[in-house]
Structure 1
């Protein structure tokens, strides 16, 4: 018997059995009468994790209201039991059996009072809603499930079955090495089937996205767009000691400078995404702490490969050559980033150290344009991010610098921006020519970068390049379909070489991640996957 390490599947030759962590359920606890205010950078699109791909949404819903069958440990990428206490994998690697936790209670709110505890029916509802287009709730409230489809899970999962009230079985069509890691991700948050049936009966299915109900550490109370989200600590949370504040408030503050002032004035105790220019100011404040670590991320410029002229690889290569990335690192990241050459960070296993980004060379770019049939340049749109993200602290400045670089080679770029939710939605729809975007790894597996950002299944999701290139995609599929580490490494290395040749996006930088907070905040951890989690966090 072999226990998986949480980063990758080592072998399917044996059946896995994971030791249960913690008690199966907790009695109602007395939560410390403390309030924690988090200065967040933007408004979530909603509270149904299956619909979203943005960290703004996941911090506001996934890590407050919901749990998953299995989850990543707080502050790490190791998979640990959550709503599933143990799980087994068949010898052929196709059947995953989850033994779920008894006594877990769904939250009681002003709009829902559960009559039963969490059980297998809730797992079935959650996944069949994503799997089956004819599932009644999905027909009543049609929506997309971008992460689920980006990773090809709609094609991979043959069936999800209830073995008994506390046992659920997933049967796959083929071996999928990152399946456990993918199942721990945010989209897989477990919804209440009982609540869903109530919404169906009252004709309010869409309320699942506005009035969430889960099993998580915090209970949703109210949301005022662009202002506040309010949560109460969950006294019935199944994980003893994990809820350490009675009130959690998100103070939505898009301006990073204002977030800094609020933190310094104790109007909030934790803030998101400081600008590099503010780090020294924050560090000089005796009441604050500013821990940091290398970011598991990449910021990049996506080329919409369905639009001319960026459907041409030589044109994309020329645009890349014309970007002075070193100047961007100095001005935008201000010492808190390193130049990127790959579609994944150097800390990700299978990273190809032999790939190097092309040096800044506007003369060579002009020659490439001439040979591609654009000696006079062209007009193009360049989308600038409206928010700070860990992979891009200043999207507007970066866009302006790229615009100036391209002007030197005759490319006339018009900068476009939208509110963040609209920016993502329109980018997924392919309205842009080029757009600044980025990604923080979700699960520690190479497939999470190559498949999610560049695979054919994710063209309408996180693949903002809208690039579907069969030789590349075949290698990604090959990497998924074996648990042999050496074979996976070989497939992913070859895929990275194809990426470098075709360049569907220009990698710009991997950034350092900072997490400022007041000194009286207890046990706040930097999450390598890019989120802020408040389970286990207290106030002195």
Structure 2
């Protein structure tokens, strides 16, 4: 059987199992794309999470935002807002909304009107107003928005008319527009929310998503698949594929096998060691892009002896990051000298490293009076763009720390259990990371290391420093990029001194595709989008 025929059969089988065809057989292949994803989304509302898996499954498929980032230039562009204007004092932003935009419909909901200002008010008042009927529907809160202090930043969202809204701010914030372009700042349907609240099922808004994006959610089977259909009423350029299926496949090796067999057209998050295999298969190709991300080892600074900066510095000096880059990333990442990656406009290439120096590490532990230290390292059970193999990373750190007399216990759980227990702050340290969803440097600092981000459980170092927060406040208040860059470099120096976490690597964003998949755009920030992706019926053997 030829590669093409085998692929057609397998792809048809996937769509048959997903229920996307009324009758299956060789006579018809839908215009569809199968994406082998790495896990289950935690929700279908990205406002409620910071998980990359959830963002990939929701934000750019189902929803739209007021403003977006251009995938090529990285500049802000219109989306559901066609234009915006900042007041002279920098304390208000007026948005003109796109007209004649339709919300999606489902078996639960048929919209009776177009998108308007009421939907913008609902989407953001739910987050900032503690008395809003939907505020407490989310048991997880709104972690990204809480981590950036959004409810303290925005005094009010006001409706001028159906097609104009004004955000009034408590203080100047140069990162405000960038935060509205993040994958979390999606627009929901106020009408759908009112209907479900009246029916006594407000949680349906988050589980059975309705948005204005290029794809409509059709069905989700946990641990199996998510299926979407092209939204015929999408306000933007229609998606090139008629149907989209996420084949949920946690194991990287199984995703690769499915890609080779033709069960998937695109595969997520390959391990670095699998990339040479791709070169053995002419029908496959690698898509890559320098990433706006960072992998780090976060120390729980609330737990002794990790509350002692000398101990944190000792552990940082003990880790051979170059060995991690070789063994885990295999030339698909660069060493992190700070939080910000080289792709950031505030990156400081002259910043000094916390060098690999086991003897200095031993001396610092002695100075701190620490003997026979034993710590836990929690390692994510899933791959991420910033770290394709955290368990391997943990093993390498375990070996490094053994050289300075520190015992490491590696702990991992199923992803859902891992995230739940992580929120209880039971860990000593955790290997995790961050993939920025906009190009503003603040997106690396405030969501990860501010005092407000500790309250939202997004600050994995459990580190709150008012002096550091004041630096971030200054960076958001000054108007020019040059001034902001200097302040963010001060923030980097502050972190290098206090070491709430050890930054390990900045990785490329990598996806694997079959060679009949075209216009797959990987951006350095944000989730994945398939709206422009094309799939032809011919492959090159």
Q: Do both share a fold (TM > 0.5)? A: yes
**1:489 CA drift (Å):** 1.9
3-state SS of 1:154 partner:
helix
Q: Which runs of 5+ in 1 are unaligned?
A: 1-31
Quote how far apart the aligned CAs of 1:428 are. Answer: 3.7
**Cα separation, 1, equivalents of 2:421 and 2:65:** 29
Question: 2: distance between equivalents of 1:335 and 1:485?
Answer: 31
Alpha-carbon separation, structure 2, partners of 1:187 and 1:530: 10
Shift of the alpha carbon at 1:366? 1.4
Given that 2:291 and 2:343 are in contact with CA atoms closer than 8 Å, whether structure 1 keeps it comes out as no
CA contact 2:381–2:412 (8 Å) conserved in 1: yes
Q: Aligned residue for 2:508?
A: 512
Give how far 1:116 is off: 1.1
TM-score by length of 1: 0.91
Structure 2: stretches of 5+ with no match in the other structure: 1-28, 537-541
Residue of structure 2 equivalent to 1:90: 87
Match of 1:185 in 2: 182
- Per-residue displacement from partner, 1:185-239 (whole Å, max 9, x unpaired)? 1221000011111111111111222111101111111111111001111111111
User: SS at 1:62's partner residue?
Assistant: helix
Q: Provide the rounded CA distance (Å) in 2 between the counterparts of 1:141 and 1:433.
A: 28
Question: Does 2:278 match 1:282?
Answer: yes
Judging changes above 3 Å, is the alpha-carbon distance between structure 1 residues 295 and 137 closer, same or farther for their aligned structure 2 residues? closer
**Residue 387 of structure 2 corresponds to residue 400 of structure 1:** no
8 A Cα contact 2:38 2:251, kept in partner: yes
User: Does 2:42 match 1:66?
Assistant: no
Query: Quick one: structure 1 residues 421 and 444, their matched pair in 2 at CA, closer, same or farther if it must change by over 3 Å?
Result: farther
- 1:125 maps to 122
Q: Is the 8 A contact 2:147 2:446 kept in 1?
A: yes
Tell me the residue number matched to 1:349. 345
| TM-superposed deviation, 1:295 | 2.1
CA distances 1:114-170 after superposition (whole Å, capped 9, x unpaired): 111111100000000001011012245554101111112110101100000111110
Deviations along 1:250-304, one digit per CA (max 9) or x if unpaired, are 0011111111111111101011111111112113321122122222211110001
1:456 aligned onto 2:451: yes
Q: Which moved more, 1:178-187 or 1:461-470?
A: 461-470
The number of residue pairs the alignment matches comes to 507
The yes-or-no answer on 1:311 pairing with 2:312 is no
Which residue of 371, 375, 381 maps to 1:380? 375
CA distance in 2, matches of 1:271, 1:322: 35
Q: Give the Å deviation of 1:33.
A: 4.3
Instruction: Select the residue among 425, 428, 450 that pairs with 1:430.
Output: 425
CA contact (8 A) 2:59 2:527 kept: no
Aligned-pair CA distance for 1:483? 0.9
Q: Cα gap change, 1:470/1:52 in structure 2, threshold over 3 Å: closer, same or farther?
A: same
Secondary structure of 2:524's counterpart equals coil
What is the CA-CA distance between 1:87 and the residue it aligns to?
A: 1.1
Give the equivalent residue in structure 2 for 1:534.
Answer: 530
1:474 to 470, 473, 484: 470
Q: How far, CA to CA, are the matches of 1:526 and 1:261 in structure 2?
A: 22
Q: 1:223, 1:526 → 2: CA distance?
A: 25
Structure 1: how far apart are the matches of 2:108 and 2:158? 29
Look up the match of 1:484. 480
Measure the CA separation in 1 of the matches of 2:372 and 2:352.
26
Please say if 1:440 is aligned against 2:435: yes
Shift of 1:41: 0.8
Q: Which residue of structure 1 lines up, in the alignment, with residue 297 of structure 2?
A: 301
